[in-house]
Structure 1
Amino acid sequence: MLHATLRPSVVRMSTEPSSPPALAPIAERVAAPAHLPLPEVDGLVWRSLTLADAPALFALTAAVEEHDRHPFRTSLEETEEMFEGEWRDLARDTLVGLDVDGEPRAYASVDTRPGDASVVRAFVQGAVHPRWRGRGVGRQVLAWSTGRARQLLAASGKELPARIAGYVQDGDAPECRLFEAAGYTANRYYSTLRRDLSLPVPEVALGDGLRVVPWSPELDEATRLAHNDAFRDHWGSEPATPESWVHGRSMFAPEWSVLVVDDAAPDGVAPRASTGGGPVVAGYLLSGRYEQDWPVAGYSSGYTETLGVRREYRGRRIALALLSAGMTAYQAGGVEFAELDVDTENPSGAHGLYASLGYEKKDGSRMYSIEL
């Protein structure tokens, strides 16, 4: 099963949503099971995960990633993030199978996000040790995860379209077959792009009072507001709450993250920081530093986690300025490539923008989902 989350990067432009069809009550649509049986596998006993399991879970994940030749490695810090989030109920939303020596040989985690406002989502994640495959472990763990996801969606009480989703690397054929056999469909595809930083980085001039500034904690709330505005017309994106916005930052690289701000935005153009003061963040590029991936890739890189531009500021070269500033920061950090992920169905013209800057496809992944 999948053991790492996708690192998305998307530039957004306006797309108007169509009118949603009438829906049956969510409790009927998701068909949540009243009872959730544990997997039955000779040699494994099952319980919930705890934070104390993080080092052993990290070792399991590393064994899976090496065996499956995935183009990344999950750090211990990223593993520990699985246990974070005030909205999480680890006792009910996680599962680990232990062998006779108490070593984890399979695990599952189901997660939701509190801010979902147009589609309520549950994400499944897990792994099976290579030596324990071929015994139906993955099939049973995914069945448990899907059942728990249905329970979480029903318990949300949100009368919205619903989705159960998991992410798979394009080259992982067994994983794809596992999801397809469980009733999931590949509904979205993503490309990982990279750009050689030995090439010149273009200089981009911004007018009308816009300026590029480094990310700072003081502007982070304003950046969250900009993100929610930039991504409100993006397929699969939901509003980030203050809690979910800061979740998952173990690999965050503030020194490689930049913003475009408008100090003189007129009232009503965009909401300002929650303090009521400070500039409007018109666009942002947030970066990650995944040094554990570099030996696998064979080169060092700066990773663009998220890139967005507010609706009111599109068409003003802000995305280009952010990417250029980000690449300049990566160069100053001494790394060799810039990397990001992009939705292949992105309607904003992002692929053309990235190609014009010298980005090329490295590999890809896909989202499997059950739409409810």
Structure 2
Amino acid sequence: MIPDDSRFETDPEELVPDPPGLPEDWSVATPDPSDRFDVARLTHLLRAHERHGRGWAGSGVDDVLVEVSEKGLRTRENVVVRDPGGEIRAWGSVHDRAGGRMLFVHVVERGLDDVVARACSDVLVEWAVGQARTVGSARGLDVQQIDTGAFADDDRQHTWLEASGFTRVRTWHQQSRPVTPDEVGLVPDPAAWESEGMRIRLVRRTGSGMPDEDDLRDVHDVLEGAFVDHFNSWEETFDEFLHRLREDPGHRWDHWWLAELLDGDEPQPVGALVANVSESTSGPDGSYVSYIGVLEAARGRGVAKGLLRTVIADAAARGRDRVGLEVDADSPTGAHGLYSSMGWETTYVTESWHRDVPVTD
């Protein structure tokens, strides 16, 4: 269940009473999501962080509001470092992602003096460690993992994370594939099609237009089962899963597919794909595969390939020019080879960095 109230500590002074190394008159506070200047400043910091790390910025105001809005604060908390003039120079955000796993966003302004920038980073990390203990205690855990990301070419971030007790644990290839209009014919109909005892279809919609809950639960169950043995897989409740995916600015209910085997008396859900919209300000939008999973017992029957062909055909039908996804560089499933054979290429690389925090000293 999603808690009615946040598990996090909302007062940064409780966690960082004496900010380490900050210049005089700099302060630690929470951002104001109703203040358009705060939101604009956070967006600017995040986009500059992305441009430095991979060469271009993709985030916008909606992505920032996912982190700082009142709705987002049910499972998130934020902190900022302000200079004497009140300008935000650094931003940290934590997300109670699943039992045992807390995500951490760590952004410090580019161009700051090295000593000041490092002090800002130390403040963000100290605050995040305090939040890890707080949320871990609320969940009844002995150890709470902090999971943060970095671009592969961001040496400054790597240096800070390593010095703060984080360990680089995984590499991820962020991939994209072009889509052409004629690929609408890759499958008979992206909404539903069958072949050789397999059916791929969109989740059903009720009379109100909302998705069928049984179908949504099947998607959740398939993905939980498909990733149970994968790297850093943590059990996520159905409510947590649904709440998190609906927060994404690109979320659309008509981008959720189920794959079913038709061998028995009843269709058996064995695969699922959840995609969203990647909006563009300078050309056609794209589709992005947030999740694709196939139960181990059904692998080797073309389920994953069928789901991918479906999302490509759907993108072509919508006039989109690309489909993106993320793949674990060390995936044991052979996913990298499948994606490569179907035209996906790596556009940039990211890393996961972890730190395990004892909940009680």
**Which TM-score tier does this pair reach, normalised by the shorter chain?**
0.7 to 0.9
Q: Tell me, yes or no, if structure 1 residue 302 matches structure 2 residue 291.
A: no
Q: Using a 3 Å threshold, how does the CA distance of structure 1 residues 160 and 327 change in structure 2: closer, same or farther?
A: farther
- Tell whether the 8 Å contact from 1:304 to 1:338 is kept in structure 2 after alignment: yes
Q: Give the one of 304, 316, 322 matched to 1:337.
A: 322
Q: CA deviation at 1:35?
A: 6.8
Q: Using a 3 Å threshold, how does the CA distance of structure 1 residues 36 and 345 change in structure 2: closer, same or farther?
A: farther
Q: CA deviation at 1:187?
A: 0.5
Q: Give the corresponding residue for 2:90.
A: 106
Q: Using a 3 Å threshold, how does the CA distance of structure 1 residues 140 and 34 change in structure 2: closer, same or farther?
A: closer
Q: Give the corresponding residue for 1:191.
A: 173
Separation in 2, partners of 1:258, 1:338: 15
Q: Give the corresponding residue for 1:259.
A: 258
Q: Which amino acid aligns with 1:250?
A: P
TM-score by length of 2: 0.77
Provide Cα deviations, 1:20-53, integer angstroms capped at 9, x if missing partner.
xxxxxxxxxxxxx987543533352221234324
Q: Give the 3-state SS of the residue equivalent to 2:220 in structure 1.
A: helix
Q: Using a 3 Å threshold, how does the CA distance of structure 1 residues 187 and 60 change in structure 2: closer, same or farther?
A: same
Separation in 2, partners of 1:281, 1:85: 31
Provide Cα deviations, 1:93-136, integer angstroms capped at 9, x if missing partner.
x21122344332211122223x42xxx12222121222435213
Q: Give the 3-state SS of the residue equivalent to 2:195 in structure 1.
A: coil
Q: Give the corresponding residue for 1:130.
A: 110
Higher relative contact order (CA 8 A, sep 6+): 1
Q: Give the corresponding residue for 2:202.
A: 214
Q: Which amino acid aligns with 1:192?
A: Q
Unaligned stretches of 5+ in structure 1? 1-32, 268-278
Provide Cα deviations, 1:117-171, integer angstroms capped at 9, x if missing partner.
xxx1222212122243521334323432442244136414545664222101112
Q: Tell me, yes or no, if structure 1 residue 38 matches structure 2 residue 19.
A: yes
Separation in 1, partners of 2:33, 2:124: 22
Q: Which amino acid aligns with 2:89?
A: R
Q: Which stretch shifts more, 250-259 or 184-193?
A: 250-259
Q: Using a 3 Å threshold, how does the CA distance of structure 1 residues 67 and 193 change in structure 2: closer, same or farther?
A: closer
Q: Give the corresponding residue for 2:3.
A: none
Q: Give the 3-state SS of the residue equivalent to 1:132 in structure 2.
A: coil
Q: Give the corresponding residue for 1:140.
A: 122
Provide Cα deviations, 1:214-261, integer angstroms capped at 9, x if missing partner.
234212232122221222222112222233213232212444442223
Q: Give the 3-state SS of the residue equivalent to 1:194 in structure 2.
A: strand
- Tell whether the 8 Å contact from 2:286 to 2:323 is kept in structure 1 after alignment: yes
Q: Give the 3-state SS of the residue equivalent to 2:196 in structure 1.
A: coil
Alignment of 1:39-54 (within 5 A): 39=20, 40-52=22-34, 53-54=38-39
Q: Tell me, yes or no, if structure 1 residue 180 matches structure 2 residue 158.
A: no
TM-score by length of 1: 0.75
Separation in 2, partners of 1:154, 1:256: 33
Please tell me the root mean square deviation across aligned C-alpha atoms, in Å: 3.0
Q: Tell me, yes or no, if structure 1 residue 95 matches structure 2 residue 85.
A: no
Q: Using a 3 Å threshold, how does the CA distance of structure 1 residues 86 and 141 change in structure 2: closer, same or farther?
A: closer
Q: Give the one of 260, 266, 279 matched to 1:291.
A: 279
Q: Using a 3 Å threshold, how does the CA distance of structure 1 residues 234 and 322 change in structure 2: closer, same or farther?
A: same
Q: CA deviation at 1:306?
A: 0.7
Separation in 2, partners of 1:68, 1:188: 17
Q: Tell me, yes or no, if structure 1 residue 58 matches structure 2 residue 43.
A: yes
Unaligned stretches of 5+ in structure 2? 1-13, 188-192, 205-210
Q: Give the 3-state SS of the residue equivalent to 1:225 in structure 2.
A: helix
Separation in 1, partners of 2:339, 2:76: 39
Provide Cα deviations, 1:302-342, integer angstroms capped at 9, x if missing partner.
21111011234322211110000000011112222221110
Separation in 2, partners of 1:315, 1:302: 25
Separation in 1, partners of 2:160, 2:126: 13
Separation in 1, partners of 2:342, 2:90: 42
Q: Tell me, yes or no, if structure 1 residue 347 matches structure 2 residue 332.
A: yes
- Tell whether the 8 Å contact from 1:122 to 1:149 is kept in structure 2 after alignment: no
- Tell whether the 8 Å contact from 1:109 to 1:145 is kept in structure 2 after alignment: no
Give the length in aligned residue pairs. Answer: 318
Which has more strand, going by share of residues?
Answer: 2
